[in-house]
Structure 1
Amino acid sequence: MAARTNPIPSVWARQQREPDQPALSRAAIVREAIAMLDADGIDALSMRKLATRLNAGATSLYRHVATKDELMELAVDEVFGEMDLPPADSPDWRAAAVEAADAFRATALRHPWLSSVLGQAGLAYLGPNLLAYAERLSTLLTAAGFPDPSRAIETLIAYVIGMSTTEAAWLTTIARSGETEAEFVARLMPAAVQATADYDHLSAAYTAAAKEDPAEARDGKFAYGLEVVLDGLALRLPR
């Protein structure tokens, strides 16, 4: 009896089919999908809607991408290709880690859906761009002397994903309001200060936040937390 094979459900685990339409390519499909994700979020993306936007039949799309899950794997890897990576021979591992984290965050804020779908995008981590990102970090942290660079990378990425998810959700809420971030915060803060009037520390924090530039405040929060994470990782280096 022949052994039963269970194909791995990932776009990276199967061969790409030959295109049947010269004008329709996997790259074009992924670019359009990303545009839809950026504009309306993951819930608005479907293979049917994507085919309509591309003036193609759904069957033509399925020759390049078998499922929406595969499409998300491709979209995730494509936006990872936008990130500027620190040089592999960077002499300062902390500076290189900050550069890599900042690049991740900037990409996640350009594509607000990214952080929230990373854990749902199948084997997206096997995509070439995401592999290149992980390999560069691994090279840097191995050279720095980390005995288990993969654990350090997971810790760093978990922080960036967590912060970026919250930040992207905040910016999406503001975008839907039709206001600038400064206008939204100016309207929100008086109510926040009033609501926390009986809580000394919270009231002081909101009063101070009302005087800050909100974009600069977000940058500062991210940088502070990142430094704390890197301080903790540094303690894992051999003395």
Structure 2
Amino acid sequence: MCARCALCWRSQGESRRSPVPAPEKPIPSVWTRPRKQKEQPALSRERIVAEAVALLDAEGIDNLSMRSLGTRLGAGATSLYRHVANKDELIELVVDEVYGELEVRDVGDPAEWRAAAADSAHSLRSMALRHPWVVSVLGQVGLAYLGPNMMSLTERMLAIFEAAGFDLAEADQAMSTVISYVIGMVTSEAAYLSVLARSGQTEQEWVESLRPAAEEATKDHPRLNEGYAAQRDRDPAEIREETFNYGLDRVLDGLEVRLGHTKG
């Protein structure tokens, strides 16, 4: 059974309803290609991936290429191809690398499942905001869910929802629901922060610069105007955190209600 997450393109339900014919052409992935046993010590796959993450963090996805990465490593693109077949494989590797930063704690007491799920969601959000490029590549990572970090993350998150009282199939669905919420929220948040970073302004400076336009735009909309006025002097980062927490709490509320039905 495939332990689904927000990155997994397959559907458990579809796979149970009808057999899916094998594709004529396999989906290429770094995780399905045997790794070469001999690598140049000075240029390992691990070093390539670490440098690629640093490049992406500094310059964004548009500036990632095998040539630009080779330049940072002091090596030609040809040397990189001995370790990574192409840019698509490189993206699979860097996505799995940053997913290795996530923290998912064990649940000893079933009553702790909600706090553990919330902590995992916050860890995922924090990772995506540290590496805002990651949300732009989630749709092109092929079989990324087969990466070792992703597999470990999925296994540990499934354990949280099993501890809560869901059977394995529904634990999978509950996990996917939480991850989908986080990815949906953080996609727009990361895009906003990326634009902010390019502007050279702090978030507070950006908000202040927009204040005259926002006040003019909301003056004929009393509800929007009231809401804007109520948040005018607040820290925008604090508002983002509060908004994220509100939605996450409502998702977990729904899962808690569902648990009550399953146990009843």
> Secondary structure at 2:258's aligned position in 1?
coil
Is the contact between residue 113 and residue 164 of structure 2 (CA under 8 Å) also seen in structure 1? yes
Choose the corresponding residue for 2:228, options 202, 206, 225: 206
Q: For 2:157, give the aligned amino acid.
A: L
Mapped partners of 1:164, 1:140: distance in 2:
22
Post-superposition Cα deviations, 1:42-97, rounded to whole Å, max 9, x if no partner, equal 11101111111111121211111111111011101101111122224354111001
The corresponding residue for 1:55 is 74
Structure with bigger RCO (C-alpha 8 Å, 6+ apart): 2
The corresponding residue for 2:201 is 179
Question: What is the root-mean-square deviation of aligned Cα atoms in Å?
Answer: 1.6
Is the contact between residue 39 and residue 83 of structure 2 (CA under 8 Å) also seen in structure 1? no
Q: For 1:209, give the aligned amino acid.
A: Q
Comparing 120-129 with 13-22, greater Cα deviation is found at 13-22
Paired residues in the alignment total 236
The corresponding residue for 1:121 is 141
Mapped partners of 1:143, 1:130: distance in 2:
20
Q: Does 1:134 align with 2:150?
A: no
Choose the corresponding residue for 1:65, options 84, 91, 103: 84
Mapped partners of 1:144, 1:20: distance in 2:
45
TM-score normalised according to structure 2 size: 0.85
Structure 1 residue 6 displacement after superposition: 4.8
Q: For 1:35, give the aligned amino acid.
A: A
Is the contact between residue 90 and residue 96 of structure 1 (CA under 8 Å) also seen in structure 2? no
Mapped partners of 1:6, 1:90: distance in 2:
46
Structure 1 residue 212 displacement after superposition: 1.0
Choose the corresponding residue for 2:93, options 64, 69, 74: 74
Q: Which runs of 5+ in 2 are unaligned?
A: 1-23
Q: For 1:138, give the aligned amino acid.
A: L
Q: Does 1:163 align with 2:182?
A: no
Post-superposition Cα deviations, 1:186-220, rounded to whole Å, max 9, x if no partner, equal 11123112211000111111112222111111110
Q: Which runs of 5+ in 1 are unaligned?
A: none
Choose the corresponding residue for 2:238, options 216, 219, 228: 216
Choose the corresponding residue for 1:192, options 173, 198, 214: 214
Distance 1:190 1:19, change over 3 A: farther
Structure 1 residue 133 displacement after superposition: 1.0
